[in-house]
Chain A
Amino acid sequence: MLKARIIPCLDVKDGRVVKGINFLDLRDAGDPVEQARLYDQQGADELCFLDITASHENRDTIVDVVARTAEQCFMPLTVGGGVRTLEDIRKLLLAGADKVSVNTAAVSDPDFVRRAAEKFGSQCIVVAIDAKLNPGSAAGRNWQFEVFTHGGRNATGIDAVAWAQRMAEYGAGEILLTSMDRDGTKQGFDIDLTRAIADAVTIPVIASGGVGTLDHLVAGVREGHATAVLAASIFHFGEFSIAQAKAHMKQAGVPVRD
Chain B
Amino acid sequence: MTTVIIDYGSGNLRSAAKAFERAAREHGGGDIAVTADPDAVRAAERIVLPGVGAFADCRAGLMALGGMWAALEEAVITRGRPFLGICVGMQLMATRGLEHGTHDGFGWIPGDVVALTPAPGRPVPHMGWNELTLRTPVHPVLAGVETGAHAYFVHSYVFRAADPADVLAESDYGGPVAAVIGRDNLVGTQFHPEKSQETGLRFIANFLSWTP
Q: Assuming the A-B contacts A40-B197, A74-B200, A75-B197, are A122 and B156 also in contact, with contact meaning beta carbons closer than 8 angstroms in the complex?
A: yes
* B52 and A2 contact, CB distance less than 8 A: no
* A1 and B130 contact, CB distance less than 8 A: yes
* B125 and A2 contact, CB distance less than 8 A: no
* B14 and A96 contact, CB distance less than 8 A: yes
* A203 and B123 contact, CB distance less than 8 A: yes
State which of B12, B15, B125, B172 has its C-beta within 8 Å of the C-beta of A173: B125
CB distance from A89 to the nearest CB of B (A): 11
* B155 and A97 contact, CB distance less than 8 A: no
**Chain B residues positioned under 8 Å from A95 (CB to CB):** 12, 14
Q: Assuming the A-B contacts A2-B128, A3-B150, A70-B18, are A123 and B195 also in contact, with contact meaning beta carbons closer than 8 angstroms in the complex?
A: no
The answer to whether the Cβ of B129 comes within 8 Å of any Cβ in the partner chain is yes
Chain B residue nearest to A173 (CB atoms) is B125
**Chain A residues positioned under 8 Å from B24 (CB to CB):** none
What separation, in Å, do the CA atoms of A227 and B11 have in the docked complex?
25
Chain A residue nearest to B119 (CB atoms) is A202
* B197 and A74 contact, CB distance less than 8 A: yes
Q: Residues 22-62 of chain B: 1 if any A CB is under 8 Å from the residue's CB, otherwise 0?
A: 10000000000000000000000000000011100100000
What separation, in Å, do the CA atoms of A173 and B200 have in the docked complex?
23
What separation, in Å, do the CA atoms of A23 and B105 have in the docked complex?
51
Q: Assuming the A-B contacts A74-B197, A98-B195, are A203 and B124 also in contact, with contact meaning beta carbons closer than 8 angstroms in the complex?
A: yes
What separation, in Å, do the CA atoms of A201 and B119 have in the docked complex?
10
The answer to whether the Cβ of A228 comes within 8 Å of any Cβ in the partner chain is yes
The answer to whether the Cβ of B207 comes within 8 Å of any Cβ in the partner chain is no
The answer to whether the Cβ of A30 comes within 8 Å of any Cβ in the partner chain is no
What separation, in Å, do the CA atoms of A123 and B18 have in the docked complex?
21
What separation, in Å, do the CA atoms of A213 and B22 have in the docked complex?
37
The answer to whether the Cβ of A114 comes within 8 Å of any Cβ in the partner chain is no
* B15 and A257 contact, CB distance less than 8 A: no
* A98 and B128 contact, CB distance less than 8 A: no
CB distance from B122 to the nearest CB of A (A): 8
**Chain B residues positioned under 8 Å from A93 (CB to CB):** 11-12
The answer to whether the Cβ of A25 comes within 8 Å of any Cβ in the partner chain is no
**Chain A residues positioned under 8 Å from B172 (CB to CB):** 1
Chain B residue nearest to A45 (CB atoms) is B129
CB distance from B201 to the nearest CB of A (A): 6
CB distance from A197 to the nearest CB of B (A): 11
Q: Residues 129-165 of chain B: 1 if any A CB is under 8 Å from the residue's CB, otherwise 0?
A: 1110000000000000000001011111000000000
CB distance from B155 to the nearest CB of A (A): 7
* B128 and A5 contact, CB distance less than 8 A: yes
8 A Cβ contacts from B65-105 to A: none
* A123 and B128 contact, CB distance less than 8 A: no
Chain B residue nearest to A121 (CB atoms) is B53
Q: Assuming the A-B contacts A74-B197, A121-B54, are A3 and B18 also in contact, with contact meaning beta carbons closer than 8 angstroms in the complex?
A: no
What separation, in Å, do the CA atoms of A190 and B192 have in the docked complex?
32
What separation, in Å, do the CA atoms of A206 and B126 have in the docked complex?
14
The answer to whether the Cβ of A67 comes within 8 Å of any Cβ in the partner chain is yes
What separation, in Å, do the CA atoms of A202 and B153 have in the docked complex?
17
The answer to whether the Cβ of A113 comes within 8 Å of any Cβ in the partner chain is no
What separation, in Å, do the CA atoms of A220 and B76 have in the docked complex?
47
7 A-B residue pairs with CB within 8 Å: A1-B130, A76-B154, A120-B11, A121-B11, A121-B54, A199-B120, A203-B123
Going nearest first, the 10 A-B pairs with the smallest beta carbon separation are: A121-B53, A202-B118, A257-B129, A93-B12, A123-B154, A70-B15, A96-B14, A204-B123, A257-B150, A96-B15
